[in-house]
Each structure stands twice: as C-alpha cells, then as structure tokens.
Structure 1
C-alpha cells in the first residue's frame, strides 16, 4: 500500500528527524548496522556513508519500498519487523517512523535489547501527533456509517499508538539500558491547495487509500480536504503551518 514517490514528496520534512536521531548515536566502528523499516532507502544510504566498514541490513514490509531501495544500490529485503530478530553482531539498530504501525511495539523493543550485544545502540523515532486534527478528522470521517462499511476496518492510528518520551525511557531503562529520550514539535511550512491532505496521503492515509477504488478515494478525499483546510488555514502568502510532534529515544545496552 506504499507509494515511494508520494512518500518522498515531502522528503525534506521527513528527513530532519532521522538526522537528529542518528546524530545521537555514538558508535564508532559497528560490525552490523540495521535500518529496520528502510522505506525507499534515501536515508539508509546515509548510514552506509557514516559507517562504511559495517555490514548494512535494510528491511521493509513494503515490496514497493524495497524495490525503490534496491534501485539505490541497497541489498534491501522484504520483512516484517514483528518477525525480525537482531543478529549477534548488530551494534546499531535504527528504526525511523515505523513502530507506530506495530501494536504493542514496546514488547518488541525489549526483545531486541535482550538479543543485541553489550554496548549496542538502538535508536527509534515515531510520530506523536495522532491526537491532532490531521488524524482526529480522519477518524471522525471513517467513523461515519457511509465510510465505515466501505473501509472494511481500515482506519488511522489510535491516539495511543505510541508512548511519550518518558514512556520509551522507562521501557529502555527497565531493560537495563542507558537511554536518551526527547520530544520535538516541528512547525513545518507547507504550500499548495491542500498541503496537509497531501502530507498525510503519503503516510497516515495509506491504509484507507488501499481499501478504496479511485472513485471512492476521490470522494473520501473531497470530504476530508475542506475539514483539513479549516483546521489548518493557509496564510495570505499561501503558507500553511503544520505542527508535527516527534518522539525519539536512543538507548545503549548494558
């Protein structure tokens, strides 16, 4: 259900949290680096440049994303994060904007920490805006009877899909890790007729788009667009300011 081209339409905004996350990893000569949820690979290549001597694993659940990553020269593979286990030499694990799609991913984090070697780094980042109008309005619309039945259960993420920074800090600390956790709200400058709709069409709306044919999707988007324009009004210069909260954690195993 993923469209690499649509996802990369806002690459500059999507890239910034990745850079800030990876900057907190202090590994020098890791044996193996893993990008778990590599997407189209545009950021995975930066891991290869930073640690050129490390074995690099790139995984994603979307065949389309993996195909795009392979076009960048990465040996990416299709895999489900719920089935993945770190190899014994995995010294750096990065998972960027992935775990919000995985229920009870705190349990996975604990499993990965237990499997990783001493002194390994685990860095994660997830969106933390599921209680904002960009998602609340989608939940409101999909809850209407005329859409609920047509969507067959497809819906945006629940507000509790991710933890707070303190929540992730507790998960890692309880697992015996040293941990640095924080939250950042980016005020993103968007432009265009329906920029917020375009933004979430590349991520949060993917399950809904996949559940609808072209005609139904156009109808759904036509109902959602004015709601989003009202919640995020454009300035006279055409700018729409879109607050986007992100939650980060970087942990080092004991």
Structure 2
C-alpha cells in the first residue's frame, strides 16, 4: 500500500500473531511526526488544544498527562528536527496509464475516478515463476502495475530465486535501488540485511544456497527502467566482430551468446 507524502496514516496488527512489514520511503531522511505526541506532548495550554482538536477539557488533560513525559518530549523535538521541509505540489497523482509517459511521469487521473484500489498492490504476495533459464523471477510494482506510485519517487519489486538462480547483471537508468534480503541468498548476506545500489551501477543477485530465496527491492523512481547487460550486448543486430571488439570475447563465444539471447549479426 502506498501513502503519499504528508498523508496521515497508521498500521495496526489485527491478528493473533506478531506481524512484520518493510516500509520504503522516498527520502533518506523522511522525518517522523506522531500526531498524538504533536497534539498532546507539548506545553500548549489545554484550552488552545481543545479549540484545535474539538476535544473536551477532561480528555485533553488526560492525554497530556499520559504523553507529557520527558522522554516523549525529547522524541517529539527529535521528530520535529527530522521532519522534511519538502512538500508536494499536490497530495497525489494516480497515473492515467492511457496518457503519455513523460519525464514527470504519467498525467493524473481525475480525482473523481481515483479509488482506494489505486493505492494498493497485492502482486508482491505471490512468488514468481522461476522455471526459466535464469531460475529467477522479478515481479515489479512500478507505475505500470501500481498507478498510485506515480510522481512519488519510489517503487518496489519482488525477486524470487530458485537454488542456483540469478538476476543477471543489469542497471536501472532512472533509479537507485535498496534491496532487502528476505531469505539467505549468498553466504555473507542474511535474512533482513539491506544493500544499496546507486543509480546506474551495474549489479546482480544470485542465490548460492540450497533453498529458494526471496528479496524485496525498493527503487527511487516509479518508473526506474531496466537494462540487462547480457541482452544489451548480445541480444542485438550489431555484427559479431564489433561486439568482440567491445567485449574482448572471441568470435565463437559472441556467436554462442547471440544465439542464446536472440541476437543476430
């Protein structure tokens, strides 16, 4: 689910077991302001708070007593200091995928046509099909699949890797990436570890373990792009001789890779 910048929101566990979630934010310093602390963990008079919240005097004083502890005041001040000063021109811009995709993203749906479903994407709950040549699958939650992220500067993707699976060397021309390992996929990276790939940096993921692995990738654009290096080098119509010069591979190897990846020449 996506929450546009500045929108009040909360999370609650309505089940009987502990719950865990990963949150991806569109800033390295997003700030945090808890509404209850801001309203009641302060030195404003109860009368003033009553006017701004429409609560009665007894309720305001009760909440002030609960939240007016020294530690909460310190936390509140910290939240204020960390709060981002950036503001969106508008609260959200759900993508109208029928319109053109420009540098600023897709045009906005009219507000009358926006529904709560535009802000919810369930596609990452299901494992991708890893029965393929790379033994891996990527399930994107980019703007084309998740119109609610349009203009918000973020997107997500799920990576599923069977044992021995690999996401080939690739780049995202339009975004940086943060990868959260949900399962161990190499010996030195463990469940819950996070790794960052700056925008445009070549990178890959491989499952070196004996069990399927899953990871969630967060990207700094709703439309980050994807260029798989092997396809770019060998899945094209450039002559083998030219590819050999740029890759330092021999003729037989280049032609073999072109045949596998659909290239000609």
Q: TM-score, normalised by structure 2?
A: 0.24
* Larger gyration radius, structure 1 or structure 2: 2
Higher helix share: 1
Q: TM-score, normalised by structure 1?
A: 0.25
Higher relative contact order (CA 8 A, sep 6+): 1
Higher strand share: 1
